[in-house]
Homo-oligomer: A and B are copies of this chain.
Amino acid sequence: MLSVKNVAELAGVSVGTVSRVINNHPSVKPETREKVLAAIEKLHYVPNEVARNFKMQKSMMVALLLPDIAHPFFSELTNYIEDELDTQNYKMILCNSKGKPQKEQYYYDVLSQNMVAGIIVITFNNVEHAIMKKIPVVAIDRHIAHEISCVTSDNYAGGRMAFNELIKAGVKRPAFLGYITNVYLNSAISEVHTRKDGFCDAAHAQGIQYACFEIPDDDQTLEASLEKIIISEALKLIDGIFINGDLFAARFIKQARAHQIRIPEDLKIIGYDGSRNLSWCPPYMSTIRQPIETIARTAVQLLVRSIEGETIKPDTYRLPVEYVQGDTT
């Protein structure tokens, strides 16, 4: 039976392009459209309605699996991922795992029933065993397997940058504050943890002593964990903290102020992320800004090329970060 593949071969284009022509998508160049229409005519190809719908649903849908759509970093990232997918004529299914391994597992099971053409995944759990290698996958911030590309910001450079900016701002006794996540013990698989490595390496290089605070990544116990740090003797020795995330930093500042700790006079703070909608809110965090839009578009472009048949050598794409001066340093 004649298929869209025969049309694609004759026209010298990808199956995806033929599908876009059939579905009248505006993104196809006129000359490409003509080539495809000529091939369809020559072969007397009639797209079967049901098969076409079925195929289209399957092949033009991409799943985004992430831990928390309500978090400003993830929602801004999602905004750009959806926009780039839309540009490329794909629709997005959002799978919000809340970081729960069993919910992620459930999503993998559903997605593996051939529902989607590809998956973009951001997870903090160990999911190597669950990812099926049948369909293209691109990870953000995580190394899932050797065959899967990872797009991330240059977290290591970001950690170094945060350390150096704290010192430039006059900090003498710096500290790092981060989360312990499920993937913590195997830090090689989470790019996010290299922020700490960058911070510590910069400190060692300059021979400066520093402290490390690490608390569980648990929304329910966060306030209690922060309280312990804020009232600790250890914090009294500290005059600047790099906090691994702006929202995390905002929650820390809220609690620190309740204890009459002045920011930045008593304690200077640098966050991480630089997501746009938090940037409107005082105290206008000094932060390491990730290129959120570029991370999103790069991940989608890699995935789509892979879906459309290109062989892509798996790699890690570390995109540059920048320091944004705010009111907290």
* Contact string against B for A residues 73-85, beta-carbon threshold 8 Å, 1 for contact and 0 otherwise: 0111011001100
Residues of B within 8 A of A295 (CB): none
Query: Do residues A92 and B91 form an inter-chain contact, with CB atoms below 8 A?
Result: no
Residues of B within 8 A of A253 (CB): 282
Residues of B within 8 A of A79 (CB): 68-70, 96
State in angstroms the CA–CA spacing of A82 and B280 once bound together: 27
Indicate whether A166 reaches chain B with its CB closer than 8 angstroms. Answer: no
Indicate whether A228 reaches chain B with its CB closer than 8 angstroms. Answer: no
SS class of chain A's interface: helix, strand, loop or mixed? Answer: helix
Residues of B within 8 A of A76 (CB): 70
Query: Do residues B283 and A282 form an inter-chain contact, with CB atoms below 8 A?
Result: yes
State in angstroms the CA–CA spacing of A86 and B103 once bound together: 10
Q: Which of A50, A276, A280 has the most chain B CB atoms closer than 10 A to its own CB? A: A280
Say how many copies of this protein the assembly contains.
Answer: 2
Chain A interface extent, by class: 35 or more
Query: Do residues A82 and B96 form an inter-chain contact, with CB atoms below 8 A?
Result: yes
Indicate whether A281 reaches chain B with its CB closer than 8 angstroms. Answer: yes
19 examples of A-B residue contacts, CB within 8 angstroms? A57-B58, A61-B93, A68-B79, A69-B78, A69-B82, A70-B78, A70-B79, A70-B277, A71-B277, A75-B78, A78-B96, A82-B96, A86-B103, A91-B93, A91-B95, A91-B110, A93-B93, A251-B280, A281-B282
